[in-house]
Structure 1
Amino acid sequence: MKLAWLRSLESAHQDCVWACTWVPATDRSGGLLLTGSLDETVKLWNPEDLSVVRTNTGHCLGVVSVAAHPSGRIAASASMDSFIRVFDVESNNTIATLEAPPSEVWQMQFDPRGTTLAVAGGSSASVKLWDTAEWKLVSTLSIPRPEGAKPSDKGSSKKFVLSVAWSPSGRQLACGSMDGSISVFDVQRAKFLHHLEGHTMPVRSLAYSPLDPRVLVSGSDDECIHMYDAEGKTLFSSMSGHSSWVLSVDVSPDGAAIASGSSDRTVRLWDPKMRAAVQTMTNHTDQVWGVKFEAVGGGARGSLLASVSDDKSISLYNYS
């Protein structure tokens, strides 16, 4: 496994770039890269040359998260202006505007079937689920206190929810909190299942393996990347090597590698079997907020990895 740097675009946005994801290809368009920035804009990019396809200026404060519907036709962006904007990828027209209390949206993700949008609810200590047919709030999953927590911790900022990830089946949802705990829910029954322990600081990012629904990967401010059996409640691997916060993690389409972005300004590729980083990319000059793999079905070139940073740039790498 290896990463090969393909291209970078400096000043892709006018301010820090905090979010990125891939928009799946449709019968009318190839796959696109979607980014969100503190400059209040959302941009769609052609990965072949990193040219701008469309720019959206619908927010009035910085964009902290972006998500793409599995159909490739719809995307969503969340901003510090307390709104989630759902828009048509091709036309940029707004489909729905979802309101949340101030700073209550950090990360969000569509479920694999595209029927539900899960939103990390920040200081509300909850994950909110929105139905994508009518864009109505259908459920609020409250994060319970971990066992052994003091009663005085119940309303503390440590329960602040930062990250969410759907299992490949869409049956379970994991969310990471400021206190380092990870909560796993049965979505259909709206039931809390268990906590996953091991991190000691905020869990900024979560990603399930696309090939093994039990494997959940997490990145934390404690500089560690963990791999859990999300169903068996066990931590089976811990990897360290970053010299600062791990801000983003993702699992490769073949399930064989993990990518991470960190405040130490690097992007790293990890071999879970070796429990070690096998490659370090140093092309960013500031902290790396997002890394995301693009799946390419049967393509000879493998897949792409995108990274975005506080240095306002986007980088693309070939993964093989």
Structure 2
Amino acid sequence: MKLAGLKSIEDAHEESVWAVTWVPSTETRPALLLTGSLDETVRLWQPDELVNQGKMTGHCLGVASVAAHPSGHIAASASLDSFVRVFDVDSNNTIASLEAPPSEVWQLRFNPQGTMLAVAGGGSASVKIWDTTTWNLFATLSIPRPEGTKPTDKSSSKKFVLSVAWSPDGRRIACGSMDGTVSVFDADRGKFLHHLEGHFMPVRSLVFSPVEPRLLFTGSDDTHVHMYDAEGKTLVGAMSGHASWVLSVDVSTDGAALATGSSDRTVRLWDINMRGAVQTMSNHTDQVWGVAFRPGGMPGRLASVSDDKSISLYDYS
């Protein structure tokens, strides 16, 4: 497995680019790249040339996360203004505006079926689930304290939720918190199942394997990437190599490779079976906030975004 640089575009946004995802193809167009920036905009890009297909506005503070509905027709963006904007990808028409109190919106993800949108609830120590048919709040999953902590412990106040992920079958939700704990929920029943421990600093990104539904990958400020059996509650592997915070993780569609972006300014490609890094890309000049593999089909593509305002696109083979 390897990455080969295809295209990089400087000044893709006017400020730091914090978020990236792929919008699936539809009957009328190919897959698109979606990015969100501190310049308060969301932009669409046509791969492989990274041609700008449109700019979405509507937020009054920086965009921290973007997510695409599996149909490819709808996307959502979460901003530091505490709003989630749901919009039509092709027309940019606003479909819904979901409001939360200050600092209550961080990362967001649609479930694989497209029926629910999970939003990491920041300081509320919860994940909010929105029904995508009515855009009503469906459930609030509150994160309990790990066993052995007391309400007065400093750790109990650090449940700020940074990241969220759905299992491939949509049955499980995992979220990462500021204190390093990962919480796993039964999505159907809205029930907390267990914590996954091992990190001791913020978990900013996590993702389930698309081919092994129990396997969960997490990236943390402690510079490590962990592999968990999310059902068995066990840490099955740990990978190290970054010199600073791991800000983003994503798994290739074949389940063989993991990509990570770090504040050490690099993108790394990891062989999951070998549990080691096989390649380091150093084309960014600042923190790499997001990495995203294009879902499905060949040829494989990986995108990365950075504080340096650039987008890079790689061939994955």
TM-score by length of 1: 0.98
* Equivalent residue number for residue 119 of structure 1: 119
The aligned counterpart of 1:160 is: 160
Separation of aligned partners in 2, 1:110 and 1:64: 16
Q: What is the deviation of 1:82?
A: 1.1
Q: Distance in 2 between matches of 1:248 and 1:308?
A: 10
How many pairs align?
Answer: 317
1: distance between equivalents of 2:189 and 2:292? 30
Deviations 1:251-281 (A, max 9, x none): 1110001000000000000112222110000
141-150 vs 124-133, greater mean Cα deviation: 141-150
Aligned to 2:229: 229
Matching of residue 308 in structure 1 with residue 305 in structure 2: yes
Q: CA RMSD in A?
A: 1.0
Report the equivalent of 1:254: 254
Note if contact 1:145-1:154 (Cα within 8 Å) is conserved in structure 2.
Answer: no
Report what 2:238 is aligned to: 238
Runs of 5+ unmatched residues, structure 1:
none
Q: What is the CA–CA distance in structure 2 between the aligned matches of 1:97 and 1:154, rounded to whole Å?
A: 34
CA distance in 2, matches of 1:157, 1:64: 22
Residue 20 (structure 1) aligns with: 20
* Structure 1 residue 57: Cα displacement: 1.3
8 Å Cα contact 1:32/1:46 also seen in 2: yes
- Secondary structure in 2 aligned to 1:7? strand
**Take 2:102 and 2:303, find their aligned partners in 1: how far apart are those partners?**
29
* Partners of 2:290 and 2:125 in 1: CA distance: 23
1:97-128 CA-to-partner distances (Å, cap 9, x unmatched) read 00011121110000000000000000000000
Query: What is the aligned partner in structure 1 of residue 66 from structure 2?
Result: 66
Whether the 8 Å contact between 2:7 and 2:48 is mirrored in structure 1 is no
- Could you list the structure 1 runs, at least 4 aligned residues long, displaced by more than 6 angstroms after superposition: none
Listed as ranges, the matches of 1:86-125 within 5 Å are 86-125=86-125
Q: Could you tell me how far apart the structure 2 residues matched to 1:274 and 1:170 are?
A: 28
Task: Point out the more displaced range, 265-274 or 17-26.
Answer: 265-274
- The one-letter amino acid paired with 1:21 is T
* Residue equivalent to 1:37: 37
Structure 2: gaps of 5 or more residues: none
- With structure 2 as the length reference, what TM-score do the two structures score? 0.98
Matched letter for residue 81 of structure 1:
D
Cα distance in structure 1, aligned partners of 2:102 and 2:286: 27
Superimposed CA distance per residue, residues 156-177 of structure 1 (whole angstroms, 9 cap, x where no aligned partner) = 5411000000000000000000
Report the 3-state secondary structure (helix = DSSP H, G, I; strand = E; otherwise coil) of the residue aligned with 2:158.
helix
Which residue identity does 2:126 align to in structure 1?
Answer: S
Q: CA deviation at 1:296?
A: 3.3
Partners of 1:215 and 1:87 in 2: how far apart? 31
